[in-house]
Amino acid sequence: MGGSVSHCVGVSSDLQEKGPGILFRVIKEGTIYHALMIRINQQAKAYLNVCAHAALRLNGDRNTFFSRDGNYLYCHAHGATYEPETGLCIRGPCEGLSLIPLTSSERDGRLYLEDETYQYYE
């Protein structure tokens, strides 16, 4: 294996502030996980799309992650509410736990997953 861990997951203009997320998948040690990227405070942030409560996807069938007021990431299963900047659950059944962050970057109008542990999965 080895080589570059940088993988383009989308273009910057597709990711609006507090808008729908970009969905992709990653793999770690043979296990595939759903992942998401959102934009908050002009910054792209990526997390595993795995709720800290019961490991369900936050978005269900949709690609929206933000609460109605736009201030939090919200799990549609049982209502866990996360800070988008940190991934910390501040309300709901997994309060005090966090989403697993993924290292990402944005350059030249493109969004990249650059995580050493979770590799992009086609």
What residues line the site for ligand FES (CB under 6 A)? Answer: 51, 53-54, 56, 75, 77-80, 92-93
For 79, list phi and psi in degrees, rounded to 5. Answer: 85, 15
Smallest gap from residue 89 Cβ to ligand FES (A)? 8
Question: Given the complex with ligand FES, which of 91 and 110 has the nearer CB atom?
Answer: 91
Q: Cβ(119)–Cβ(13) under 8 Å?
A: no
Smallest gap from residue 71 Cβ to ligand FES (A)? 17
Question: What gap in Å lies between CA 67 and CA 26, rounded to an integer?
Answer: 25
Question: Given the complex with ligand FES, which of 26 and 80 has the nearer CB atom?
Answer: 80
Smallest gap from residue 114 Cβ to ligand FES (A)? 27
Question: What gap in Å lies between CA 37 and CA 26, rounded to an integer?
Answer: 12
